[in-house]
């Protein structure tokens, strides 16, 4: 079978024909790791609160490089305090982005609930202390 014929063969859902050879790099996908616990999330938030660089809204090239360096330092600090599962800077950054996104969604839901019309009591929306997945 030629390369072009192989490109057009469809792979059924749930199956994969990709086989990794020893020493071969993965396609940029990191292996799935365990989700962060509440204690790990609290530790991450505490480290982020202390960092003025990460919470800065500036996005020029210099600040982006500073933020990348800060995420590397933050990951080292996080991994030195939390010993259950070492995390990469990319994993911690993704968790931070997801926490922010979930928080915005939650407060948008509260805001839209206050603006509803039609009478009756408003819906109860519980307070979120930690926005975890």
**Burial of 75: CB neighbours in 10 Å, binned 0-12, 13-18, 19+:** buried
**In this model, does residue 66 exceed pLDDT 80?**
yes
Residue 113: name the closest of 99, 101, 126 by CA. Answer: 126
The Cα 111–Cα 26 span in angstroms is: 43
Binning pLDDT at 50, 70 and 90, where does residue 61 land? very high
The answer to whether position 10 is within a domain reads no
Asked, for residue 15, whether it belongs to a domain, the answer is: no
Q: Average per-residue pLDDT in the chain?
A: 79
Band (pLDDT 50/70/90 cuts) for residue 121 is confident
**Is 14 domain-assigned?**
no
pTM: 0.68
pLDDT by residue (tens digit) across 22-52? 555 555 555 678 888 999 999 999 999 999 9
Q: Does residue 124 sit within a domain?
A: no
């Amino acid at each position: 079978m030629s390369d072009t014929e192989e490109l057009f063969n469809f792979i059924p859902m749930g199956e994969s024909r990709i086989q990794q050879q020893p020493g071969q790099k993965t396609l940029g996908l990191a292996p799935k790791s365990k989700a962060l616990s509440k204690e790990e999330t609290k530790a991450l938030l505490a480290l982020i609160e202390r960092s003025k660089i990460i919470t800065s809204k500036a996005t020029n090239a210099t600040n982006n490089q500073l933020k990348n360096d800060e995420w590397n330092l933050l990951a080292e600090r996080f991994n030195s305090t939390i010993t259950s599962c070492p995390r990469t800077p990319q994993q911690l950054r993704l968790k931070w982005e997801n926490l922010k996104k979930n928080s915005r969604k939650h407060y948008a839901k509260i805001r839209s609930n206050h603006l509803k019309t039609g009478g009756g009591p408003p819906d109860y929306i519980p307070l979120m202390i930690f926005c975890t997945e």
